[in-house]
Amino acid sequence: MSNATLKELSVRLAAGDCSSVELTQDFTSKINNLGKELGCFITVDAERSLAQAKAADARRAAGDAGPLTGVPLAHKDIFCAEGWLTTCASRMLSNFVSPYDAHVVERCNAAGMVTLGKTNMDEFAMGSSNETSHFGPVRNPWNPETVPGGSSGGSAAAVAARLAPAATGTDTGGSIRQPAALTGICGLKPTYGLVSRYGMIAFASSLDQAGPMARSAEDLGLLLNVMAGHDPRDSTSLERPVEDYNRDLEKPLQGLRIGLPKEFFAEGLSADVRRTVEAAVAEYRKLGATVVDISLPNMGLSVPVYYVLAPAEASSNLSRFDGVRYGHRAAEYTDLLDMYKRTRAEGFGAEVKRRILIGTYVLSHGYYDAYYIRAQKLRRLIAQDFAAAFGQCDVIMGPTSPTTAFKLGEKSADPVQMYLSDIYTIAVNLAGLPGMSIPCGFDGGGLPVGLQIIGNYFDEARMLNVAHQYQLATDWHQKAPGGAQ
């Protein structure tokens, strides 16, 4: 059962072929074994999960079930969940038990889904490899000596290893799409504001967006149907009509215009990734799509722009973690100011400290105009490039990551090289656009390659259609790492 998709599990539950309790027991058993080796989970609570499963089975027996009632999933540990330890993979929150549910968790609970546990991540979502976690790194199930990508690496590895049929993630600069690519699963970052950020511990508020991670495009749509929706508690949540994001899955791709930005295929892209992505584009041609060469001239500025704006917002958002109200507090200090200093020095890891320092610097007097304001102006130019491109094409395609999964520790000593892992994903967040990654093949070493699909604002249904039709013609998304079958 653990090898079934969300859709297949939904059908089996509806037919009475299995119960939610049986599913939950199956997944928790696997988590207790393989999950520890991979470091996917920070917190599991089998008793709490089984209680949810029993409640879901009771709902089905009473005829009060939705499509995903009784289906298990995992939540990235950035989402507050009532009664669950919610750490953001940081020592700072290592003892924080949330008193309330995030909007995303609330919606999944209302749908009757079962929480299997809270997944590991880069500390406060800051990282591209899932090596900055206070609880240790996550390992890629395709090769445990390599990274799963970050910051949603725990969610990605859990889905890839079949420890969960789906998981939630967050994407600030590629943190759903990049780990999805590196672990051979599907991940979707929705249009900014489509999914509420309420109860999602903030990193960079104008960039953070929650989204689904699963094994197929169809599964992503099923989960997005649950997660999306207006939330008055989040001022950035958009009030839009309810959609079925899977409504267009079966539409043929005849006449689809695919834009290929020349900047996505320039220096820095590995030969294996290029070859595999080009083969995927060739498959789309067979499905009736046409290809248009486009340009995103300011895309090269996205990394420096992001690493001004995101740390600036992080500096502000993380100022609340001071040891006064909740979370870690230094054991010894002389006065209030000393308590602040010692608590933050002990509670935050090296990457978080680096970004707080950068953010505080660019927001300081004398540098605000030179860095922060200029970065905001460039952000607008990047968004305008996408607007012009969508005048020529329906979707944009390219690699999700310039390389496949790299070795643990390979880039830890070089932050710039680590940051460049997100070179193809960051611009999407800066523009607030939806983007997704789907598996499209493997490199010479047997590691997955991800194809990135970028849509115009609120075009998630079209993107899922484009991905689904490719998955009907190929089977890359059905491949599983050894031991996960």
Q: Are 248 and 462 in contact (CB under 8 A)?
A: yes
Under 8 Å between Cβ of 129 and 150: yes
Residue corresponding to tokens 């290592």: 94
Retrieve residue 236's tokens.
């950035």
Rounded CA-CA distance 78/208 in Å is 11
Q: Is 262 a catalytic residue?
A: no
| Catalytic status, residue 151 | yes
Q: Is the separation of the CB atoms in 483 and 159 below 8 Å?
A: no
Q: How many CB atoms lie within 10 A of CB 65?
A: 20
Tell me which of 30, 76, 189, 411 is the catalytic residue.
76
The DSSP annotation for 141-185 comes to TTBTTB---SSSHHHHHHHHTTS-SEEEEE-SSSTTHHHHHHHT-
Beta carbons of 434 and 191 less than 8 angstroms apart: yes
Check if 175 is active-site. Answer: yes
CA dihedral 167, 170, 173, 177 (to 10 degrees): 20
Which residue is catalytic, options 10, 19, 90, 151?
A: 151
Distance CA 85, CA 78 (A): 10
Token couple for 90: 């940081």
Of 175, 302, 315, 437, the active-site residue reads 175
**Cis upstream peptide for 151 (omega within 30°):** yes
Rounded to whole angstroms, the Cα distance separating 192 from 460 reads 12
Contact present, 34 and 163 (Cβ < 8 Å): yes
Cα separation, 62 vs 197, whole angstroms: 33
Q: Is 187 helix (H, G, I), strand (E, B) or coil?
A: strand
Whether the CB-CB separation of 213 and 178 falls below 8 Å is answered with: no
Handedness of CA 362, 365, 371, 374 (dihedral sign): positive
Q: How far apart are alpha carbons 437 and 453 in whole angstroms? A: 6
Where in the sequence numbering do the catalytic residues fall? 76, 151, 175
